[in-house]
Amino acid sequence: MKRADMRKILEVLRLRHELELGHRAISAATGLSKGSVSDYLKRAHEAGVTLELARQLGEVELEAKLFAAPERNLPPQRVPIDFEWVHREMRRAGVTLQLLWVEYRDAHAHHERDDGRERRPYSYSQFCELYVEYRGRLDVTMRQTHRAGEKLFIDYSGKKLAIHDRKTGEQIDVELFVAVLGASNYTYAEATRTQQLADFVGSTVRAFEYFGAVPQICVPDQLRSAVSRPARIDPEINRTYAEMAAHYGTVVIPARPGKPRDKAKVEVGVQIGQRWIVARLRNRVFFTLEDLNAAIAELLEDLNARPFRKLDGCRRSQFDAIDRPAMRPLPARRYELAVWKKASASIDYHVDFDWRLYSVPHSLAKQDVMVRATASIVEIFHRGQRVASHARSYGPKGTPVTEPAHRPKSHRDYGEWPPSRIIEWSATIGPAVQDVVEQILAMRPHPEMGYRSCMALFRDAKTFGPARTDAACRRALAIGAPTRKSVIAILRAGLDQVPLEPEQRELPVVEHENVRGGDYYDTSRGQHDHAEEERTR
């Protein structure tokens, strides 16, 4: 069973103490039930855990303070009720709430959440109370009242703009991003090439900078760049987008699918953007995105200064009078886009990100980690704690970035995977395979950097068979290219089945002070020899 998500608990504390949100809003923003939100806040209060203290503590320490027995003390989770199904079934002859509750209970008697914890069905009395509450809301239609500085509604226009290739004349469709503040209708718009995460985060950041302030809540539609797992009840916010929101001190509460009133404001804003931006640019030709956005900026100023027909003032005057005073100031530093990715440290204690390899402490080999990468830095986290930080590499694919302190102190610290075991394993496939493996390990600054290539070679042996793999290694040695890349190229081309020419004899082993032979990895050598060799190198 998994532990409680300390990251979500920290977010609950931030939303409560920094943004002063109520339990309902926090529940919508985090995907937790209102009961869980209330329980976490109560536990933090009783334990004397402030937001500042929670940020200083690691996940393990925070869990220890809030949960004496983490798994048992978490509030029970309930199986959600499909009220639309209940309401529909109640219209059928002979169907009662008790019958529907029995069916609901039996269907979910052993329902589990994604984290493996059991979800319990509601009791009959709770089932009835919740349905009565749901039925009472069906016929209530209330005009939305937007508080000053509270919500920024975000969406993309269905009607696209376009730029043209100057050489070929090809038309390239681009997206129109629109953001509208709830109280003043103050609008921001820009063109982007895609709706993907980098463009979406960048557009949101530029919207904040256009306003010169930050709203309390962002309400995007449930597009993939904002919501990792769309859902009607508890959508999961994309981690990068949530991190951006936390940097600016706001919160993301996506519009619910099938609830047009949740995003009515931005849909009207999109329509106005199509009318006063897209339509007015229909006869103009743009060759770059920058030129297009310059034209949009001019029309945007005109739109926000255009007088209302039924109200005094315009969007800009209403923004200055209503929204701006209630919004949060921009932080001193602009958000730098960070991409999060789940990864696993290989036996060589390196993590693969963007085709480059970054080291973690060797004790984390074969452990799951999270990678956070910006344009300049790659950070690696294990159970919420940062365990490694590297300057981002833009070298050739496969480039290793290794922190010396992450390496084992001696070859005896390799645990289950010393270099000698890799060599012994290769010998069971064929002698030529063993020779290639020894050279792969010997030519690396540190032998464990060759583990990935060796393991890939072993997988090739399973795919193509030991005989073909050994023959391919023999040819790779003969042509002086004892690498896994050469071996797989030979296998795919079928050259392993072609006899070697007489002149293609095996080249002599390269002699160099930095090249180790197979005997170097012999585990029968004493620890004194290892220590002596390390001192003389």
pLDDT at 164: 92
Percentage helix, strand, coil for the chain under 3-state DSSP, each rounded to 5: 45, 15, 40
163 versus 259: the higher-pLDDT residue is: 163
pLDDT at 265: 64
Residue 503 has pLDDT above 60, yes or no: no
Q: Residues near 388 by Cβ (< 8 Å), separated by ≥ 6?
A: 358, 359, 360, 361, 379, 380, 403, 406
CB-CB contact of 368 with 342 (8 Å):
yes
Cα–Cα distance measured from residue 132 to residue 119, given in angstroms and rounded to the nearest whole number = 22
Residue 269 has pLDDT above 90, yes or no: no
In this prediction, residue 134 has a pLDDT band, given cuts at 50, 70 and 90, of: confident
Report pLDDT digits (tens) over 429-440.
889 988 998 888
Residue 76 has pLDDT above 70, yes or no: no
Dihedral angle, C-alpha 283, 288, 290, 291, nearest 10 °:
-40
pLDDT at 397: 81
> What is the mean predicted confidence (pLDDT) over 123-127?
90
CA distances in angstroms from 113 to 117, 120, 365, 415, listed in the order given = 6, 10, 29, 36
139 versus 153: the higher-pLDDT residue is: 153
Report pLDDT digits (tens) over 379-426.
999 988 899 999 888 888 878 888 888 877 654 444 456 677 778 888
pLDDT at 143: 36
Mean pLDDT score of the chain, rounded to an integer?
79
Cα–Cα distance measured from residue 477 to residue 420, given in angstroms and rounded to the nearest whole number = 21
Q: Please, what are the domains in the chain? A: 6-138 (no CATH), 151-326 (3.30.420.10), 339-406 (no CATH), 412-536 (no CATH)
SS3 readout for 423-463? HHHHHCCCHHHHHHHHHHHHCCCCHHHHHHHHHHHHHHHHH
How is residue 276 annotated by DSSP? I
pLDDT at 235: 61
Task: Map residue 508 onto helix, strand or coil.
Answer: coil
pTM: 0.53
In this prediction, residue 229 has a pLDDT band, given cuts at 50, 70 and 90, of: low
Instruction: Give the residue among 160, 196, 381, 423 at the shortest CA–CA distance from 274.
Output: 160
CA distances in angstroms from 143 to 140, 264, 265, 480, listed in the order given = 10, 11, 11, 77
Cross-strand pairs, 119: 77, 111
Residue 55 has pLDDT above 60, yes or no: yes
In this prediction, residue 174 has a pLDDT band, given cuts at 50, 70 and 90, of: very high
CA distances in angstroms from 507 to 202, 428, 470, 481, 503, listed in the order given = 55, 23, 17, 10, 10
In this prediction, residue 529 has a pLDDT band, given cuts at 50, 70 and 90, of: very low
> What is the mean predicted confidence (pLDDT) over 76-87?
79
Cross-strand pairs, 152: 181, 218
> What is the mean predicted confidence (pLDDT) over 495-508?
67
Cross-strand pairs, 359: 350
Cα–Cα distance measured from residue 316 to residue 170, given in angstroms and rounded to the nearest whole number = 37
CB-CB contact of 450 with 444 (8 Å):
yes
Cα–Cα distance measured from residue 38 to residue 60, given in angstroms and rounded to the nearest whole number = 21
Report pLDDT digits (tens) over 365-392.
889 999 988 878 899 999 888 999 998 8
Residue 260 has pLDDT above 60, yes or no: no
Cα–Cα distance measured from residue 119 to residue 425, given in angstroms and rounded to the nearest whole number = 47
Where is mean pLDDT largest: 56-65, 100-109, 231-240, 252-261? 100-109
Q: For residue 87, give the H/E element and its range.
A: helix 83-90
